[in-house]
Amino acid sequence: MTRRRPLRPATADEMLATLGRLTDRARQGAERQKARVELAEALQRSMLPAELPFVPGLRVAARYTPARNGLDIGGDWYDGFVLPDGSLGFSIGDVQGHDVEAAAFMGQVRIGLRAVATATTDPGEVLRRANELLLSVNKGLFATCSFLRYDPVASELQSARAGHVPAVWATVDGQGGVVEDEAGVPLGILPGEVYPVASRRLSTGGAFVLVTDGVVEGPSYPIEAGLEAVAALVLSAARRGTEAGELAAQVMGTTTLTDHTDDAAVLVLLHDTA
């Protein structure tokens, strides 16, 4: 029977050398992870608009926060641009999935909405045509989306939803809540889908706020509770006259309640009294 030699305790120098190697390895891993996160954020932000449109009587701001899990790149977006008739178009949405393919598809959806809106400014028709366009691409992905048209002459806001989170509204005189408009199915699922349009005249100053589900929903936090929290925040901000950028940041702060790991986007429209 072979007798095993007892293990020799590591010397202090050997322990220090091992500790040094492990520290270097951990540091390199942390640096690689940081690089991955920065790459994911840069890719996502490069697909978002550099600026949002402005007209007298309307102030617009947006915020975006990437997913917390490294290269889990999300498909959330927001956008705003001038339509051919001089009105303003806005969109916000969320593509299914969390990878580079979802992020790339998000870019296609955002640009597709812009392209369709050059031919029609009706929000429901924009979503209908975008839906058919995405189905023709046949990527196997879908997107929830809200599309808005703001007419600065009539102070009118028209909106349509494709399976997206409802908007939240508030006025300076203390009215507000979650918008209860009808929605169609997400883009890229069913051919021939129709998207109802809701119209509202903005006769009183206030706020109209859109979010993606990463803002209002978490692993153990229902979306209804998140929407109620945002509605209360927006109502308070409208009474105080909070600026658009500050309000967008405050709404994004709701994610601390939901403990979200998904990416998240916020789009804020503040309107003056007509």
> Which pLDDT value is given to residue 265?
94
Instruction: Say what the pLDDT of residue 96 is.
Output: 83
CATH topology of domain 47-271: Phosphatase 2c; domain 1 (3.60.40)
List the domain boundaries for the chain. 47-271
pLDDT of residue 30: 57
Ranges in the chain, pLDDT < 50: 7, 70
Return the residue matching tokens 């048209």.
149
DSSP string, 34-80: HHHHHHHHHHHHHTS-S----BTTEEEEEEEE--SSTT----EEEEE
| pLDDT at residue 23 in the model | 60
Q: Which pLDDT score, from 0 to 100, does residue 65 have?
A: 86
The pTM of the full predicted model, rounded to 2 decimals, is: 0.83
Q: What is the pLDDT of residue 256?
A: 75
Q: For residue 201, what pLDDT is reported? A: 95
Q: Please give the pLDDT value at position 221.
A: 84
Q: What is the pLDDT of residue 47?
A: 72
Residue 178's Cα: distance from chain center in Å? Answer: 17
